[in-house]
Amino acid sequence: MTRAGIIAFETVIPPGNVSRQDIARLSGVDAKELEEILPAPFLSVFDTDKSDWEYATEAARRVLDQKNVAASQLDWIIYCGSGVWDKPFWSPAAKVAEQLGATQAHCFEVVNFCNAGATGIAIATGWVNANPEKTALVIICDRLSGLIDHADSASRALFNFGDSATALLVGVERPLLTLSACDMQTDPTWCDMYQGEYRQGRVFARKNYTRKGLLQVYVEMLSQLLDRSLSKTSLNLLDIRFLLINQGDINVHNALLTRLALPSERSVFNYHANGHLGGGDNWIALRQLLKTQRLQKGDMLAMATSAMGFSWGISLFEVTR
């Protein structure tokens, strides 16, 4: 049976950046404490004079060019992120379609923060499996840095938030990755820990209250979801070549690997190279694995995602090319 999968992907990392030193100066947070949150000396951010949709369109054009796919061949354009778009009451997916000339596509958004991309891929894969003659474009794009008030020390846990745009083509034509299983879950008791507020025409994310135990919940939830996904296949943990995870918190990353008894060599750590670039983190890590030829056909890959709410996800992919 023909299986839909990710044919190609491209990620745009903006050249602009904010330094850790500048964030420390603005926030008043101790330099050593800030280094634990943002190990990298800087984080990549979108240019203030360039809209998010422009970065998303750039990533989309790159992936279409990579596979020589015409925009007119796209049947769905799914734009995934936080829901804080360039404009309110507006569709960034439709804007990208306009720029590409994708006049035949159904365009819509998926809002689930840094879990949105995985959700969009799951939706696209299911729809293309049911309609194998069709192709979907999934875009993962957020200006997370713009949501953070770096003068607010109470929001220090979010000071590693940076920006990126990723575009993925989902179809049946020689896919690079096929989705073997996907499981997601939300613990709604944490829903109000972080909230956005409007200030001077902008949305800022703020910590609403302090509650201990979130790291343990991350590890427990991701472990359970991984078990659930593996149980749907004939695989076990030893069959997973690499486990990738959003680069939001190195302590969560290490704790999860310890819980699963996986060595650090079976994951990718980019914390000292850049900040948390939203839903693009795992695709940046995957590109590194492919460039260094650490993956081969038949390998299994687990992608762990998480998001405000709080929600978690595990996606199991097989390398099929």
103 and 197 both lie in a single domain: no
How many structural domains is the chain composed of? 2
167 and 193 both lie in a single domain: no
> Token pair of 257, please?
């690997």
The amino acid present at 16, given as its one-letter code, is G
150 and 244 both lie in a single domain: no
Residue that terminates a domain, selected from 126, 154, 174: 174
The pLDDT averaged over each successive group of 10 residues in the chain (321 residues) is 92 98 95 95 98 99 99 99 98 99 99 99 99 99 97 94 99 98 98 94 93 97 99 96 98 98 98 98 99 98 98 99 93
d(CA 227, CA 183): 10
d(CA 138, CA 281): 15
Count Cβ neighbours within 10 Å for each residue of 209-222 and write b for 16 or more, e otherwise: eeeeeeeebbbebb
> What would you measure as the largest C-alpha separation in the chain, in angstroms?
58
pTM score: 0.98
15 and 27 both lie in a single domain: yes
pLDDT tens-digit map of 120-151: 999 999 999 999 999 999 999 999 999 999 99
111 and 61 both lie in a single domain: yes
166 and 199 both lie in a single domain: no
232 and 187 both lie in a single domain: yes
State the sign of the Cα–Cα–Cα–Cα dihedral 272, 292, 170, 99. Answer: positive
CATH number of domain containing 213: 3.40.47.10
Identify the three-state secondary structure at position 82.
coil
Q: What integer pLDDT is reported at residue 205 of this predicted model?
A: 96
d(CA 253, CA 258): 9
Q: What integer pLDDT is reported at residue 2 of this predicted model?
A: 75
Residue that terminates a domain, selected from 114, 139, 174: 174
d(CA 274, CA 39): 8
> Token pair of 114, please?
């840094």
Q: Are 22 and 43 in contact (CB under 8 A)?
A: no
Q: Are 105 and 26 in contact (CB under 8 A)?
A: no
11 and 160 both lie in a single domain: yes
232 and 256 both lie in a single domain: yes
194 and 45 both lie in a single domain: no
DSSP secondary structure string for all residues of 247-307? TT-HHHHHHHHHHHT--GGGS---TTT--B-GGGHHHHHHHHHHHTT---TT-EEEEEEEE
Q: What integer pLDDT is reported at residue 36 of this predicted model?
A: 96
Residue that terminates a domain, selected from 174, 189, 214: 174
Domain that holds residue 184: 178-319
11 and 102 both lie in a single domain: yes
157 and 182 both lie in a single domain: no
